[in-house]
Chains A and B, each alone.
Chain A
């Protein structure tokens, strides 16, 4: 009988390494090509963006970005010539198409809405999640298992399944199209994830730290603040990224519940209309800018993110 079992750990052979490498590269390409395509499109001119066959090599232009941030009106060439010299690169680009800049577009306020709502709801979810996770981890909560199951059960169906009731409720409560409403909604969706993830992290921090602090003269809240929180930062960061990614990318609720002042970037970007149809370079430019914050945040916290994903799979 062979002693080797399914669990035996062997060094990977050169061949299996090559195959694994090929799979990873293929997957990386599949994932990254759409992003590169969007990035490239954002630097194309509108005619280039809809050219067929698609142009791989093209003369880059920032027309998309100009169109993203401005609204424009068509004018006669005589009127444009009567104006003074162009005041900037965008001005010049726009004038070539017989248009003048009429004013700023809604992109910036929508982008700010996204920032406020995503970071606001992430903060609330992580704050509430940390406190509840600590409570569940350290105290004898009556019916703790049932409560935790209930919290988890809120994720058993896609949140959008309750879109209609929420829409009606928000209309009655006056929360439609408000930043507060969106923050509350995203917090409610994220808090279950936050409680479960953070409970795992806090369970891992030995109680002795708080006990030592409490014996040394601190109250429980002080002990929590001074000994548990500093050690839970990895878990908090990982949880924050997950919550932020959800809130930042969320489209369905945002499209349904926001239309004006509180509209976030995801439902706004596809509605950018140029002359004679969709302004693809401007849409691509909006998408590119929209990707930047989450990209930076994720790169900065990638270690914590990895730890959040592999949590429980590896020992410290």
Chain B
């Protein structure tokens, strides 16, 4: 197992820049997730780490060794493809043993290793089956088996759960994380699904348009989004934004939104007057008739333990997550109370988060712009 260090990585296909200037370090044994919408450059980054694409610029270090221009087979990594890429003309045993065959390992040893791996993944009863007859989850396990059988320096996974049913996917998320906890393999995992990312990752990089918008732990990314894109991409429903104007002075603890004064975490930097946005997670909104921030109920979505309430305000729809017991009718006027300690402030122009007291407890989680 090894640490992966990516420095100023860049990839252009003609005029199109797929990855702009990526920098990140995946520590030895870490489960690292690259998250972003399709076309954001996450898969390209992964393929460059694998050696399936050569970078236009930058460096990739694997366990301290510069592998930027090495062939895929010289890197000692394993890759799990979205469509699994199980060889249809081989059975499960041959599929899992295929990488060992390349190393010229004697067949008796391959047999032992394949069986060990199959047992670890609980697919030892399928070894002599053809891969074409397998269910989605089992195909996934065979693909994983082919990756771990070789004990490579790291695992790269490209949306490996993308084609599975929701039911299977939840199961596999747990299985993958459990497997990771057992073998502690450095893993880079690409997905567009925030649920997968949040529940599995030690560290997440949120990517958009070839740029890493934020790199940090799931908690940092959820609680202290570095940009409006991250705030909007993570969370279901995503963070609400309420626009407000004017600058911010260092030390300010209050802003005015739609004529209502809202207490916010202490601002730590001076911001020149411009269009700003107040970011609120749906679960940090309460209904309180005393509040001057008002809106009319637009609709509700009952989820059992909670409900999502859409409230029409002067600045568009705001979604709040409130206890399911509250009875609400469409058209009712309500006051919105915001949990001041958990609010985020953004500069609408750049989308960047304003530094506030919330960030005081932050570790290294900050955006790394190109």
Contact = CB atoms under 8 A, between A and B. Distances in A.
Interface of A: 206, 208-209, 211-219, 222, 226-227, 230-231
Interface residues of B, number: 23
B87 A216 contact: no
Given A211-B50, A215-B78, A216-B146, 10 more contacts: A208-B85, A212-B85, A213-B98, A214-B52, A216-B73, A216-B150, A217-B73, A217-B103, A218-B102, A227-B87
Interface in B69-109: 71-73, 75, 77-79, 81-83, 85, 87-89, 98-99, 102-103
Contact of A218 (B73, B81, B146): B73
A71 to B, nearest CB: 51
Contacts of A208: 81-83, 85
B89 A231 contact: yes
A228 to B, nearest CB: 10
Contacts of A211: 50, 52, 72, 79, 81, 85
A208 B146 CA distance: 14
27 contacts: A208-B82, A208-B85, A209-B87, A211-B50, A211-B52, A211-B85, A212-B79, A212-B81, A212-B85, A212-B146, A213-B98, A214-B52, A214-B72, A215-B50, A215-B51, A215-B52, A215-B72, A215-B75, A215-B77, A215-B78, A216-B73, A216-B98, A216-B102, A217-B73, A217-B150, A218-B73, A222-B102
A212 B85 CA distance: 7
A217 B99 contact: yes
A217 B149 CA distance: 13
Contacts of B81: 208, 211-212
- Which DSSP category, helix, strand, loop or mixed, fits chain A's interface? helix
B274 to A, nearest CB: 46
A216 B71 CA distance: 11
A62 to B, nearest CB: 46
Contacts of B150: 216-217
A218 to B, nearest CB: 5
Nearest to A218: B102
Contacts of B89: 230-231
Nearest to A210: B85
Contacts of A217: 73, 99, 102-103, 150
Contacts of A212: 79, 81, 85, 146
B46 to A, nearest CB: 11
Contact of B88 (A213, A214, A231): A231
Nearest to B77: A215
A222 B101 CA distance: 12
Interface of B: 50-52, 71-73, 75, 77-79, 81-83, 85, 87-89, 98-99, 102-103, 146, 150
Nearest to A211: B52
A87 B52 CA distance: 72
Contacts of B88: 231
Contacts of B82: 208
Those 6 A-B pairs whose CB atoms lie nearest each other, nearest first: A217-B102, A216-B99, A208-B85, A212-B85, A230-B89, A208-B81
B270 to A, nearest CB: 50
Contacts of A226: 87
B110 to A, nearest CB: 13
Nearest to A230: B89
B2 to A, nearest CB: 16
A210 to B, nearest CB: 9
Nearest to A219: B73
A165 B82 CA distance: 54
A216 B146 CA distance: 9
Given A230-B89, A231-B89, A215 B79 contact: yes
Contacts of B98: 213, 216
Contacts of A214: 52, 71-73
Contacts of B83: 206, 208
B338 to A, nearest CB: 48
A211 B77 CA distance: 12
Nearest to A214: B72
A125 to B, nearest CB: 24
B73 A215 contact: yes
A275 B6 CA distance: 88
Contacts of A231: 88-89
Nearest to B74: A217
Contacts of A219: 73
Contacts of A213: 98, 102
B207 to A, nearest CB: 21
A247 B132 CA distance: 37
A66 B195 CA distance: 81
A166 to B, nearest CB: 41
A184 B290 CA distance: 93
A211 B81 CA distance: 9
B37 to A, nearest CB: 22
Nearest to A206: B83
A216 B77 CA distance: 8
A219 B72 CA distance: 9
B109 to A, nearest CB: 15
Contacts of B85: 206, 208-209, 211-212
A230 B94 CA distance: 14
A268 B98 CA distance: 52
Contacts of B87: 209, 226-227, 230
B141 to A, nearest CB: 16
Contacts of A216: 73, 78, 98-99, 102, 146, 150
A227 B88 CA distance: 9
Contacts of B52: 211, 214-215
